[in-house]
A and B are shown apart, each in its own frame.
Chain A
Amino acid sequence: GAVVSQHPSRVICKSGTSVKIECRSLDFQATTMFWYRQFPKQSLMLMATSNEGSKATYEQGVEKDKFLINHASLTLSTLTVTSAHPEDSSFYICSARQSPRRGEQYFGPGTRLTVT
């Protein structure tokens, strides 16, 4: 099956610093990648959709200047949390799809971000 990896799996950073999370599709080319955020005991909240080579589309309420998303290649997307604050602490999950149309999304294992 298709495999999506995320790095790092856990990160602790100080308030005011920036953190980059990588999402890679290991055995397929992902034209579309998604970034989600999950709060404890809550649903997966879609933050943004990125298509390779174009700007990400952010969901309403998500600050694009705070959560920088880059999808420079068909196998890599990055999420950078800039000037992190404790309220940014969360579980961030990426997913990838081969086509921008409907189809199965393959999820990464997630990254636990803790901002102190």
Chain B
Amino acid sequence: DQQVKQNSPSLSVQEGRISILNCDYTNSMFDYFLWYKKYPAEGPTFLISISSIKDKNEDGRFTVFLNKSAKHLSLHIVPSQPGDSAVYFCAASQRSTSGTYKYIFGTGTRLKVLA
């Protein structure tokens, strides 16, 4: 049962244009969301996060939008650069039975920015 879904496995965007990566979730108890970027054979690196009490968070070229009623979040990258080419994972926070917060990751979207 995939609680966090990224339905687009890949996305190609021209350099300088906007990249929009989407993520859907099913669990309404999730209250904190994150986006990570991952290069092959490396661990993910944190990009940006958003709490469920907000609907937008911006950090430089990266903006995350949250639509709680639709259980949907998106990551916008403007302008896109070739160095942004990577796999992007969204993650949602869930409290485990031990009381620790754990993150549930989506399946990832491979972004390719074309020069």
List residues of chain A with CB under 8 Å of any chain B CB: 4, 6, 32, 34, 36, 41-46, 49, 51, 57, 91, 93, 95, 100-102, 104-110, 112
- Known A49-B98, A51-B100; judge A108-B107 contact (CB<8 A): no
B45 contacts the other chain (CB 8 A): yes
Does the CB pair A46–B104 fall under 8 Å? yes
- Known A104-B49, A105-B103; judge A4-B43 contact (CB<8 A): yes
List residues of chain B with CB under 8 Å of any chain A CB: 9, 32, 34, 36, 41-46, 49, 89, 93, 96-108
Q: Collect the chain B residues with CB atoms within 8 Å of residue A106's CB.
A: 46
Q: Which of B32, B46, B100, B108 is within 8 Å of A43, CB to CB?
A: B108
Q: Which of B49, B99, B102 is within 8 Å of A34, CB to CB?
A: B102
Shortest CB distance B103–A (Å): 7
Shortest CB distance A8–B (Å): 13
Shortest CB distance A111–B (Å): 10
Bound form: Cα–Cα A12–B98 in Å? 34
Does the CB pair B100–A44 fall under 8 Å? no
Shortest CB distance B31–A (Å): 8
